[in-house]
């Protein structure tokens, strides 16, 4: 791993601390034998991996055709192998008593390389890897006791975050700002990262109340697994938002987040109205939590993202748009909106 500068080390440390803070907020469980738990995880991996791919394939095969995704880009054996190696690293790190915080630092480069490889030719391929990892994690945790799950889950959360979120790209973007005496974008992101989980939990709780009867592919919004995934997704939007601020454009959303959402959310039965509600609550929450300069700096990027998921782009009454593969036509409008908002901000 290349040496990191002050700015990107700072962001990496802020992100890693989240896992320690979460653990400290919980009652510490009685420690299970490290080797025994690690072997349980490794022993279940082969079956979990095969079952996970079956679920991933069932969920996304139709999307390949609908979105004209080249099937040659999807290598089931490589995806399963990459996922398995991550789980083995997590099990070994737990056995060696590496803390989740330290594991976050250790695994960051590997996850970043995987992310780069899977997004290189088509960012939607990352969706297959992400779902494979997600389902494997669910199956690996199932046979564990509640105590064992509480001990091992933070390691899965670390890898999940690094796969879903552009953390390495954010650290690289932060390094560009390191030489500046005062960098408002970096200051804004340093404010944003520590509160992402708190903000996400609050938003998901509010959305679950507003849509109490809504059922996704995996269940109600109040179900544990759905809530965990929802919180992760809201955190993911915030990390992409911070990345936009650091890079000064919405390219990361255009290149990765938007195409992935267009492919995955309809398959997961996540409506665009849910996404719009989340983005509106995110605006309100960031306005409350961030200092005025940081909020004003981030707002144009958030408004550009809101425009991408607006009713004009995804009318709920028109189901064709829920599966439309032609994501490129929406990018020009979003880019023009962002330039207009930035011009107003500068004037």
pLDDT at 313 over 60: yes
More confident residue, 181 or 81: 81
Region at 214 (left for phi over 0; alpha for psi -120 to 50; beta for the rest) = beta
Mean pLDDT, range 24-44, rounded to an integer: 72
CA dihedral for 211, 259, 103, 6, sign (positive or negative):
negative
pLDDT of amino acid 19: 75
Report pLDDT for 15: 84
Q: Give the 3-state secondary structure of the chain.
A: CCCCCHHHHHHHHHHHHHHHHHHHCCCCCCCCCHHHHHHHHHHHHHHHHHHHHHHHHHHHHHHHHHCCCCHHHCCHHHHHHHHHHHHHHHHHHHHCCCCHHHHHHHHHHHHHHHHHHHHCCCCCHHHHHHHHHHHHHHHHHCCCCHHHHHHHHHHHHHHHHHHHCCHHHHHHHHHHCCCCCCCHHHHHHHHHHHHHHHHHHHHHHHHHHHCCCCEECCEECCCHHHHHHHHHHHHHHHHHHHHHHHHCCCHHHHHHHHHHHHHHHHHCCCCHHHHHHHHHHHHHHHHHHCCHHHHHHHHHHHHHHHHHCCCCCCCCCCHHHHHCCCHHHHHHHHHHHHHHHHHHHHC
CA 246 – CA 298 distance, rounded (Å): 10
Query: What backbone torsions phi and psi does residue 4 show, to the nearest 5 degrees?
Result: -105, 145
Q: Looking at residues 38-58, what average pLDDT do you find?
A: 94
For the entire predicted model, the pTM comes to 0.86
In angstroms, the Cα distances linking 106 to 10, 12, 141, 165, 193 are 15, 11, 22, 16, 19
When pLDDT is cut at 50, 70 and 90, the band that residue 338 belongs to is low
Residue 333: pLDDT band by 50, 70, 90 thresholds?
low
Query: Who wins on pLDDT, 329 or 151?
Result: 151
Label residue 61 by pLDDT band (50, 70, 90). confident
Per-residue pLDDT tens for 100-148? 989 998 998 899 999 999 998 899 999 999 999 999 999 999 999 999 9
Instruction: Answer whether 1-179 and 180-347 agree in fold.
Output: yes
Q: CA–CA separation, 169 vs 159, rounded Å?
A: 16
Mean pLDDT of 208-212: 94
Residue carrying structure tokens 């802020």: 14
Region 220-227 average pLDDT: 94
Query: Domain 180-347: which topology?
Result: Globin-like (1.10.490)
Name the CATH code of domain 1-179 (choices 1.10.490, 1.10.10, 3.90.550, 1.10.150). 1.10.490
Position 320 confidence tier, pLDDT thresholds 50, 70, 90: very low
Question: What is the C-alpha to C-alpha distance for residues 241 and 235, in angstroms, rounded to an integer?
Answer: 10
Q: Is a pLDDT exceeding 90 seen at residue 331?
A: no
pLDDT of res. 16: 81
For residue range 238-272, what is the model confidence (pLDDT) as tens digits?
999 999 999 999 999 999 999 999 999 999 999 99
The mean pLDDT value of the chain amounts to 86
Domain ranges of the chain: 1-179, 180-347
Average pLDDT over residues 71-85: 93
263 within 8 A of 277, measured Cβ to Cβ: no
Q: With a cut of 60, say whether residue 27 has pLDDT above it.
A: no
């Amino acid at each position: 791993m290349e040496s990191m500068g002050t700015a990107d080390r700072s962001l990496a440390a802020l992100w890693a601390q989240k896992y320690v803070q979460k653990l400290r907020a919980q009652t510490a469980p009685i420690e299970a034998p490290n080797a025994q738990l690690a072997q349980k995880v490794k022993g279940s991996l082969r079956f979990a991996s095969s079952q996970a791919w079956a679920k991933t394939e069932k969920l996304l095969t139709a999307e390949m055709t609908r979105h004209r995704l080249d099937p040659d880009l999807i290598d089931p054996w490589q995806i399963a192998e990459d996922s398995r190696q991550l789980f083995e690293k997590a099990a070994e790190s737990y056995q060696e008593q590496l803390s989740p915080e330290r594991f976050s630092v250790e695994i960051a480069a590997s996850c970043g390389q995987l992310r780069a490889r899977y997004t290189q030719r088509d960012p939607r391929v990352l969706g297959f890897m992400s779902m494979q990892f997600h389902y494997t994690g669910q199956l690996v945790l199932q046979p564990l006791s509640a105590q064992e799950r509480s001990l091992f889950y933070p390691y899965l959360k670390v890898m999940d975050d690094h796969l879903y979120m552009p953390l390495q790209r954010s650290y690289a973007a932060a390094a560009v700002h390191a030489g500046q005496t005062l960098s408002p974008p970096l200051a804004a992101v340093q404010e944003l990262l520590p509160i992402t989980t708190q903000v996400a939990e609050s938003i998901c709780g509010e959305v679950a109340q507003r849509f109490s009867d809504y059922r996704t592919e995996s269940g109600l919004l109040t179900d544990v697994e759905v809530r965990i995934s929802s919180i992760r997704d809201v955190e993911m939007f915030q990390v992409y938002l911070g990345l936009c601020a650091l890079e000064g454009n919405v390219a990361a959303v255009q290149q990765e987040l938007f195409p992935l959402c267009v492919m995955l959310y309809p398959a997961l039965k996540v409506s665009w109205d849910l996404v719009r509600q989340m983005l509106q609550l995110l605006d309100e929450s960031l306005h409350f939590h961030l200092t005025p300069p940081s909020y004003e700096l981030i707002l144009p990027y958030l408004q550009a993202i809101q425009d991408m998921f607006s009713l004009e782009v995804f009318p709920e009454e028109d189901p064709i748009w829920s599966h439309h593969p032609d994501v490129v036509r929406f990018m020009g409008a979003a880019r023009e909106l962002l330039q207009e908002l930035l011009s107003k901000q500068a004037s």
